[in-house]
Structure 1
Amino acid sequence: MQGSANLNLMKKAARKVGRALVKDFREVENLQVSSKGPGDFVTRADREAEKALREALLGDRPTYGFLGEESRETEGVDPTRRWIVDPLDGTTNFLHGLPHWAVSIALEHKGEIIAGVIFDAAKDEMFWAEKGSGAWMNESRLRVSGRRAMHESIFATGVPHSGKGTLPASLQDFARLSPVCAGVRSWGSAALNMAYVAAGRFDGYWERGVQPWDIAAGLVLVREAGGMVSAIREGDDPLVKGSIVCANDPLFEGFRRVIRGE
C-alpha cells in the first residue's frame, strides 16, 4: 500500500525525526544516572524534533498551515489544509527511559483529518492511515478488535496528574468502568493508545483534557480500522473540546454510556 504523496511525506518525516529521537533516547537513559538529570535535554530534543518536522512538512508544502505542541500555530496561505503535529507524544515516558512514545503527524483538510501517521520509533512500528484507504501498521492491515462484551475488554486512558482539573472526573470514570471490564491501562501516550485501538490491542480508549495534536492522527487511524470515535459529550468535536472516546462498533455505545455516567 503506497499512499498519496502527502502520506509518503508524512511517513518520511516521522521516520527521520523518530530515528533522531531514538539516539536522544539512548542519551536520556545515560542521563538518568547523572547529577545533571535529563529534563532540560528532553525539552531540547522535543523542540528540535518539532523544528525538523516543521521544516520537512512546510518545506514540501509551504502553503499549508501548521499546529504543533511546541510552537505557535502558523496559518497557511491555503486555509483548507493544516498539519497537526506532536513531535514527541509520551514525553514523560521518554524522560524516564520508558520506550513507549511516538511521533504523531496528521493532515487536516477543511476541518477533517484525512491522513495520520504515528511512528513508535523505539519499536519500529509505523501506524498510518488515509481516508478511504484503510489503516496499517508497517505493511499489515489493521482492524479494531472483535470483542463484544465489556467484561472481556481492556480499555486505555491517560491518568491526569494532580494539577489537572480533569482528575476528579477521570477518577469517577475509573470507578464506573473498572467493575465492568477486564482491565484499564495507562501507558502514557494518547497517540499510541489510539493506534493500539486501531490495531485491536486495546478494545477502547477514552480521555479528558487532551489537545488536538494528541489525538488528531489517531482519529483517522481508528476510523479507517473500522472503529467509532466521538467526544465524550454528544455533539462535541474531539479536536475542539478536548475529550475523546473510541472503540469498536459492538462496544462503543455501552462504553460511552459508562464514561458519561448514564
Structure 2
Amino acid sequence: MKAFLAVARAAAQAGAAQLAQRPGTLAPLGIEDLGAETKTSGSDWVTDFDRRAEDAIRYVLRSYRPHDEIYGEEYGATTVEEPSGYRWSIDPLDGTTNFIRGLPHYCSSVAVEHEGTWIAAAIVAPALGRSWWASADGGAFTSNHGPLDVGLTTTPAQPVRLSGPLLGRSGRLLASGFAYDPQRRGFQFQQLQRLVSAGDFADLRRAGSAALDLCMVADGTLDAFAEYGLQEYDWAAGALIAQEAGVPVRRAAWPQSDTTPDWTLAGDLGLALHELDVESHHPVGRTVLHGSVATDDAAGWIQTFTDSAASAFTIANFHVQCTVAEGAVHVTATGPADGVEALQEKLKAVSW
C-alpha cells in the first residue's frame, strides 16, 4: 500500500507543480494568458494548465505503473495491454474557475482503486501550500509545505493525522457545489434546503473544488459535504481521505454524472442517502426491496455487515435497514435499480 501512496503523492505533486507556474499573482487572468476555452457551458472551463497538469500526472503514473489503467478529466480513459487490474482516477485541476479568477482553492487530485476498492489518494493545493493524502486502513494526513516552486517543496511541516470534524459543535457548516446546467442546479438547491434544515447547519460553504471540500471535512474545517452530479475523478481522492479520517462517506453509485448522476456524501448530514431524491428523469432511478432472513442471532447477522451496533448499514450502494423480530431479521434495502443483482449476491441469506 505504501508504494501506491508514494506514486499517488508523486503524481499529485507533478500536477500541482504545473499549476504553480500560473503567471502573476493570485489575480484574475485573461483567456490569452491561460489558453482557456469552455467545455459544456460558459462557466465550464479548460485551460492549457489543465492539460499540462494531466500530462505531468500521467507521465509519473506511466513511469511507475505502466500496466495500470488511467481515467482522467481531460483525456478520458486509457487502456493498456496486459492490464494489472489497478486503475487511477485523476483530476489535474479541480477548481478551474477558481484558478482562472485568482481564487486559491484549486488542486491536483489522484487516486487508485483495485477491484472496486480505493486504496490510495493524494491531493495537492499549490496556492494554499497544503497537501492531503491517505491509504486504505492507513489513515489520512495533511501537511503545510509552502508554495510549490517548479515542482520542489520547501521543507515540509510535520504531517498531521486527520480525525474529521468535532462532533456536537454549534455553527455547523455544510459544503456543496452546483451544476452548470440550470435545471439540475434548481434540483440541487431544493435538496440542499432540506439538508440544511435536517442537519441543523448554520450555513453553507461553496469553495469551488469538491476535492478540497472533502479534504476540509476530513481535517475538521467543515462539518459535512453533499453534492449531486459529481464525476468520479471529482470525488475519488477526497472521498478516501475523508473516509480514512473516520468520516462516514458515501460515494456516487455511478461514475458518469452526465448520464447517471448521484449523491456524494460525507459527514453527519441529518438525512440518509435514501431520504435524498434523484432527479425525476433519472435514467436508472432507485428501487426499494423488502426481505427477511431466518436467524436466532439477529445481532450477530447484522454485525457481519457493520462494525457498529446500528441496525442500518450501506452495502453495494444500498441503504439497508434491519428490523429484528423473533427468529428473523426483516430487511428493507433502498438503492440503484441496476444494482439489485449485486446486492442480492452480497446478502445471499435474505429471501426477497
Q: What is the TM-score with the length of structure 2 in the denominator? A: 0.64
Q: 2:22 aligns with which of 12, 21, 24?
A: 24
1:260 aligns with 2:258: no
- How far, CA to CA, are the matches of 2:275 and 2:23 in structure 1? 35
- How far, CA to CA, are the matches of 1:104 and 1:226 in structure 2? 20
How far apart are residue 165 of structure 1 and its match?
4.0
Once the two structures are superposed, the pairs formed by residues 4-43 of structure 1 within 5 Å of their partners are 4-24=2-22, 26=24, 29=27, 31-32=29-30, 36=32, 38=34, 40=36, 43=47
Q: 2:264 aligns with which of 237, 244, 253?
A: 244
Q: 1:136 aligns with which of 128, 138, 141?
A: 141
> Does the aligned pair in 2 maintain the 1:135–1:221 contact within 8 Å?
yes
Q: Structure 1: give runs of 5+ residues left out of the alignment.
A: none
The 3 A distance-change label for structure 1 pair 87 and 80 is same
One-letter identity of the residue aligned with 1:83: W
Q: Deviations over 1:217-260 (max 9, x none)?
A: 012111110011115xxxx626465421110xxx24x2436971
1:207 aligns with 2:227: yes
One-letter identity of the residue aligned with 2:59: E
1:192 aligns with 2:212: yes
How far apart are residue 59 of structure 1 and its match?
1.5
Q: 2:115 aligns with which of 97, 110, 117?
A: 110
How far apart are residue 184 of structure 1 and its match?
0.6
Match of 2:281 in 1: none
The 3 A distance-change label for structure 1 pair 48 and 153 is same
Match of 2:250 in 1: 230
- How far, CA to CA, are the matches of 2:274 and 2:104 in structure 1? 31
Structure 1 counterpart SS, 2:76: coil
1:148 aligns with 2:146: no
User: Between Structure 1 and Structure 2, whose CA radius of gyration is higher?
Assistant: 2
Q: 1:73 aligns with which of 56, 72, 77?
A: 77
How far apart are residue 64 of structure 1 and its match?
0.2
Structure 2 counterpart SS, 1:23: coil
> Does the aligned pair in 2 maintain the 1:147–1:153 contact within 8 Å?
no
Q: Deviations over 1:185-237 (max 9, x none)?
A: 11100000100111111110010110000000012111110011115xxxx62
The 3 A distance-change label for structure 1 pair 36 and 53 is closer
Structure 1 counterpart SS, 2:208: coil
- How far, CA to CA, are the matches of 2:28 and 2:263 in structure 1? 36
Structure having the larger proportion of residues in strand: 2
Ranked by relative contact order (alpha carbons within 8 Å, sequence separation 6 or more), the top structure is 1
1:120 aligns with 2:125: yes
One-letter identity of the residue aligned with 2:73: E
> Does the aligned pair in 2 maintain the 1:190–1:215 contact within 8 Å?
yes
Structure 1 range deviating more: 163-172 or 50-59: 163-172
Structure having the larger proportion of residues in helix: 1
> Does the aligned pair in 2 maintain the 1:28–1:38 contact within 8 Å?
no
- How far, CA to CA, are the matches of 1:238 and 1:158 in structure 2? 18
How far apart are residue 146 of structure 1 and its match?
2.3
Same amino acid, percent of matched pairs: 32
One-letter identity of the residue aligned with 1:10: A
How far apart are residue 38 of structure 1 and its match?
4.2
How far apart are residue 25 of structure 1 and its match?
5.1
Structure 2 counterpart SS, 1:205: strand
- How far, CA to CA, are the matches of 1:157 and 1:146 in structure 2? 19
Q: What is the TM-score with the length of structure 1 in the denominator? A: 0.85
- How far, CA to CA, are the matches of 1:259 and 1:188 in structure 2? 25
The 3 A distance-change label for structure 1 pair 146 and 79 is same
- How far, CA to CA, are the matches of 1:157 and 1:25 in structure 2? 29
The 3 A distance-change label for structure 1 pair 170 and 39 is farther
The 3 A distance-change label for structure 1 pair 62 and 21 is same
CA RMSD between the two structures: 2.4
Match of 1:97 in 2: 102
